[in-house]
């Protein structure tokens, strides 16, 4: 097994030693961490009522940190990170905006990770638990340092034998794993198979069947005997061929409530994903519009869920595309507990090969969805067994920023990214400015060279990396753009599929009207002719060309900036190698997209740049 120092520590580099194995509580962990910090003295005082919250005040040469059971550790990290970054230790009170700040790992028991780009699972291999306790402790610490307090360790698509996670055979090991996370205030969550009872002789998974209800009650009792602080269960049901209540003519409220009642006696939460749509759509069917699916399936159920149910809703109505509007479902269920779901794993956003810092995207999201619309937050993990945990060392910025954003949705991307740069690489002045600017602009650059203006889904359909402008066009996924020689896009307004009607008035009006719909989302909501004149006076086709050429040029500029950065090895070499791949990817996207639209439209680039015919 590797020495812990062989693993990348990303933003925790300033804290090279792990807290001793003997730390059993966040308070003990906080003491152990603080003991490592030279030049920073912090007295810690436990005030259980504060929970996750804390306060810091100046006290002589040092600080007094008051905090709840976990708050003391969060406060300690906050103070240490500020100190390490050369900033003032923030004084005053602080507490997280969301009580549940969840990370969803899509790890399979076989050791592979669905849409994982950082190597194999940190938890499993070969159909069983297989992990390095020191490394898990390091992971727990990274999560705690940014306030993440729940980790779901297995894929929402529960493949055999991951269902054993709630069976006696595996529960003792699950308890051992939970014990590693516990001192860092991180609780485990488990993805379950909705039809699990049927593996044990129950004839049905009907949520109204008493035997099913009894099975889950007993199962929860058993699981909580081993892991008393388990955060709960996560369920993907009736989605992409997963079983669910629809099989029995029941609603998702029936299904979720049944499971929630089993968890309630133990204080557990039932998280139910709302990623439900017809993944067997006929492309000829114009009556069905996939972005409308989640709202149709759930909005009418508002108020029908148990208190310990949380509906987890992806940020956009499609599936983690580069540019989507806010999912209307997030704005439509005021009487239900909701969780907003982001995806740190760069499934559609560059596979942790291309640089793609997400905080600017999240800020845009919160501009349209007030944070108070949801009561919890989750993100699909971008972690794996790679030495640096995230494949591309810069991808760690997304985990870091996610934690701080989950704590405070108003956090400024600018400041969060700058803090990560400083902590991770200790850069200063022009060097720090350069890395900061590179990360801040990376999403817009990626957007420019990929699918244009909210059109989505021009990615290679299997791997989800690289261009395939027609890859989804005749497929079963409900993701079509219907580009022809004159126009492109789906009319989702009142005159089209009617999707806009799912939004509250303000957003509906904004998106419905071409004049107010932002250019960057125009092709999400409208079907436009290539000669349509955009807000800035350019035609749609010219705007597509311009964006793609600019995106490629910006990627080249990123490569130049990267080459001049004073990064430590192996990060420098890893980032350089991935940048070569990003440049190839950007060029391919640029040329393929431009050629695709040129062949359709017959319109030449106004600036005479090369478009292949």
Q: Which residues are catalytic?
A: 240, 319, 347
In the set 53, 467, 478, 489, which binds a second copy (CB under 8 A)? Answer: 467
E strand intervals along 28-99: 42-46, 54-59, 62-67, 92-94
On the 0-12 / 13-18 / 19+ scale of CB atoms within 10 A, 157 is middle
Q: Does 5 bind a second copy (CB under 8 A)?
A: no
Closest to a second copy by CB, 331 or 483: 483
Closest to a second copy by CB, 336 or 468: 468
**Binding to a second copy (CB under 8 A): which residues in 418-447?**
none
- Lay out the site mask for a second copy across 446-465 (x = CB under 8 A, - = otherwise): ----------------x---
Applying CB under 8 A, the span of 128-136, 267-275, 478-486, 513-521 interacting with a second copy comes to: 478-486
**Binding to a second copy (CB under 8 A): which residues in 239-298?**
283-284
User: Rounded to the nearest whole angstrom, what is the least distance from the CB of residue 347 to a second copy in the complex?
Assistant: 19
How far apart (Å, rounded) are the C-alpha atoms in residues 409 and 406?
6
**Binding to a second copy (CB under 8 A): which residues in 310-339?**
none
Nearest to 343 by CA among 275, 260, 244, 411: 275
Secondary structure (3-state) at 425: helix
Nearest to 21 by CA among 258, 130, 179: 179
- Lay out the site mask for a second copy across 578-597 (x = CB under 8 A, - = otherwise): ----------x--xx--x--
How far apart (Å, rounded) are the C-alpha atoms in residues 301 and 238?
16
Q: Does 599 bind a second copy (CB under 8 A)?
A: yes
Nearest to 482 by CA among 538, 528, 542: 528
In the set 200, 335, 485, 607, which binds a second copy (CB under 8 A)? Answer: 485
Decide: 63 and 56 in contact? Cβ < 8 Å: yes
User: Rounded to the nearest whole angstrom, what is the least distance from the CB of residue 449 to a second copy in the complex?
Assistant: 14
Q: Which residue has tokens 């044990």?
A: 200
Q: Does 415 bind a second copy (CB under 8 A)?
A: no
* Residues touching a second copy, count (CB under 8 A): 26
How far apart (Å, rounded) are the C-alpha atoms in residues 70 and 407?
13
Q: Does 134 bind a second copy (CB under 8 A)?
A: no
Decide: 507 and 332 in contact? Cβ < 8 Å: no
Q: Which two tokens stand for residue 504?
A: 């509250």
User: Rounded to the nearest whole angstrom, what is the least distance from the CB of residue 527 to a second copy in the complex?
Assistant: 11
User: Rounded to the nearest whole angstrom, what is the least distance from the CB of residue 72 to a second copy in the complex?
Assistant: 54
Decide: 128 and 108 in contact? Cβ < 8 Å: no
Decide: 254 and 299 in contact? Cβ < 8 Å: no
How far apart (Å, rounded) are the C-alpha atoms in residues 25 and 73?
9
In the set 20, 87, 278, 484, which binds a second copy (CB under 8 A)? Answer: 484
User: Rounded to the nearest whole angstrom, what is the least distance from the CB of residue 597 to a second copy in the complex?
Assistant: 11
In the set 486, 535, 557, 566, which binds a second copy (CB under 8 A)? Answer: 486
Closest to a second copy by CB, 400 or 472: 472
Applying CB under 8 A, the span of 109-117, 264-272, 476-484, 489-497 interacting with a second copy comes to: 476-484
Q: Which helix (H) or strand (E) holds 224?
A: helix 210-226
Pairing of strands 62-67, 150-152: unpaired
User: Rounded to the nearest whole angstrom, what is the least distance from the CB of residue 484 to a second copy in the complex?
Assistant: 4
User: Rounded to the nearest whole angstrom, what is the least distance from the CB of residue 603 to a second copy in the complex?
Assistant: 10
Applying CB under 8 A, the span of 105-113, 187-195, 561-569, 598-606 interacting with a second copy comes to: 598-606
DSSP state of 393: G
In the set 228, 482, 563, 580, which binds a second copy (CB under 8 A)? Answer: 482
User: Rounded to the nearest whole angstrom, what is the least distance from the CB of residue 222 to a second copy in the complex?
Assistant: 38
User: Rounded to the nearest whole angstrom, what is the least distance from the CB of residue 590 to a second copy in the complex?
Assistant: 11
How far apart (Å, rounded) are the C-alpha atoms in residues 51 and 65?
13
In the set 415, 473, 553, 605, which binds a second copy (CB under 8 A)? Answer: 473
What is the signed CA dihedral for 236, 239, 240, 245, rounded to 10 degrees? 100
User: Rounded to the nearest whole angstrom, what is the least distance from the CB of residue 599 to a second copy in the complex?
Assistant: 4
Cα-Cα end-to-end distance for the chain: 54
Secondary structure (3-state) at 192: strand
Tell me the C-alpha to C-alpha distance, in Å, between residue 394 and each of 11, 345, 418, 576, 592.
10, 13, 12, 11, 27
How far apart (Å, rounded) are the C-alpha atoms in residues 322 and 316?
10
Q: Does 474 bind a second copy (CB under 8 A)?
A: yes
Pairing of strands 232-235, 269-273: parallel
What is the signed CA dihedral for 90, 428, 578, 479, rounded to 10 degrees? 40
Q: Interior CA angle at 430 toward 428 and 436, to 5°? A: 80
How far apart (Å, rounded) are the C-alpha atoms in residues 81 and 100?
22
Q: Which helix (H) or strand (E) holds 270?
A: strand 269-273
User: Rounded to the nearest whole angstrom, what is the least distance from the CB of residue 606 to a second copy in the complex?
Assistant: 18
Decide: 501 and 508 in contact? Cβ < 8 Å: yes
- Contacting positions for a second copy (CB under 8 A): 283-284, 462, 467-471, 473-474, 482-486, 588, 591-592, 595, 598-602, 612-613
């Amino acid at each position: 097994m590797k020495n812990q120092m062989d693993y990348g520590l990303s933003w925790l580099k300033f804290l090279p030693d792990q807290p001793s194995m003997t730390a059993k509580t966040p308070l003990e962990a906080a003491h152990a961490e603080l003991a490592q910090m030279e030049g920073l003295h912090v007295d810690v005082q436990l005030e259980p009522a504060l929970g996750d919250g804390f306060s810091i005040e100046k006290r002589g040469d040092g600080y007094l940190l008051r905090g709840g059971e976990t708050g003391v550790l969060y406060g300690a990290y906050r103070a240490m990170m500020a100190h390490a970054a050369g900033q003032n230790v923030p004084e005053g009170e602080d507490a997280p905006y969301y009580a549940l700040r969840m990370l969803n790992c899509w790890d399979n028991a076989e050791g592979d990770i669905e849409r994982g780009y950082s190597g194999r699972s940190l938890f499993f291999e070969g159909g069983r638990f297989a992990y390095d306790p020191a490394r898990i402790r390091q992971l727990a610490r990274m999560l705690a340092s940014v306030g993440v307090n729940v980790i779901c360790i297995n894929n929402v698509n529960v493949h055999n034998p991951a269902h054993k996670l709630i069976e006696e055979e595996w529960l003792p090991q699950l308890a051992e794993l939970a014990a590693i996370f516990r001192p860092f205030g991180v609780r485990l969550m488990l993805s379950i198979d909705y039809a699990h009872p049927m593996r044990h002789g129950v004839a049905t998974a009907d949520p109204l069947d008493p035997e099913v209800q009894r099975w889950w009650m007993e199962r929860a009792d058993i699981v909580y005997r081993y892991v008393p602080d388990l955060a709960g269960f996560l369920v993907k049901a009736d989605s992409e061929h997963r079983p669910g209540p629809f099989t029995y003519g029941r609603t998702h409220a029936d299904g979720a409530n049944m499971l929630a009642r089993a968890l309630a006696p133990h204080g557990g939460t039932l998280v139910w994903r709302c990623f439900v749509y017809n993944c067997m759509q006929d492309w000829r069917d114009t009556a069905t519009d996939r972005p409308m699916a989640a709202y149709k399936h759930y909005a009418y159920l508002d108020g029908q869920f148990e208190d310990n149910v949380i509906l987890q809703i992806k940020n956009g109505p499609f599936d983690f595309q580069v540019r989507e509007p806010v999912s209307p479902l997030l704005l439509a269920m005021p009487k239900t507990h909701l969780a907003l779901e982001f995806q740190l794993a760069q499934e559609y956003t560059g596979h942790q090969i291309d640089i793609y810092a997400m905080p600017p995207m999240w800020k845009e999201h919160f501009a349209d969805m007030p944070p108070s619309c949801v009561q919890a937050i989750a993100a699909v993990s971008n972690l794996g067994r790679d030495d640096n945990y995230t494949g591309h060392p810069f991808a760690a910025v997304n985990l870091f920023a996610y934690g701080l954003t989950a704590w405070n949705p108003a956090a400024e991307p600018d400041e969060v990214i700058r803090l990560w740069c400083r902590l991770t690489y200790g850069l200063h002045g022009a060097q720090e400015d350069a890395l900061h600017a590179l990360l801040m602009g990376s999403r817009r650059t990626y957007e420019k060279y990929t699918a244009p203006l909210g059109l989505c889904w021009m990615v290679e359909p299997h791997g989800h990396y690289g261009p395939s402008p027609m890859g989804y066009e005749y497929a079963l996924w409900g993701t079509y753009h219907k580009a022809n020689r004159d126009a492109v896009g789906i009319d989702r307004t009142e005159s089209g599929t009617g999707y806009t009607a799912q939004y509250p008035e303000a957003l509906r009006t904004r998106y419905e009207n071409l004049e107010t719909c932002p250019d960057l989302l125009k092709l999400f909501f409208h079907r436009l002719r290539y000669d349509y004149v955009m807000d800035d006076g350019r035609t749609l086709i010219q705007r597509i060309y311009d964006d793609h050429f600019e995106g490629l040029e910006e990627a080249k500029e990123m490569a130049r900036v990267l080459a001049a950065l004073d990064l430590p090895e192996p990060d420098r070499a890893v980032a350089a190698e991935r940048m070569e791949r990003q440049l190839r990817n950007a060029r391919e996207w640029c040329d393929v997209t431009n050629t695709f639209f040129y062949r359709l439209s017959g319109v030449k680039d106004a600036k005479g740049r090369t478009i292949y015919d």
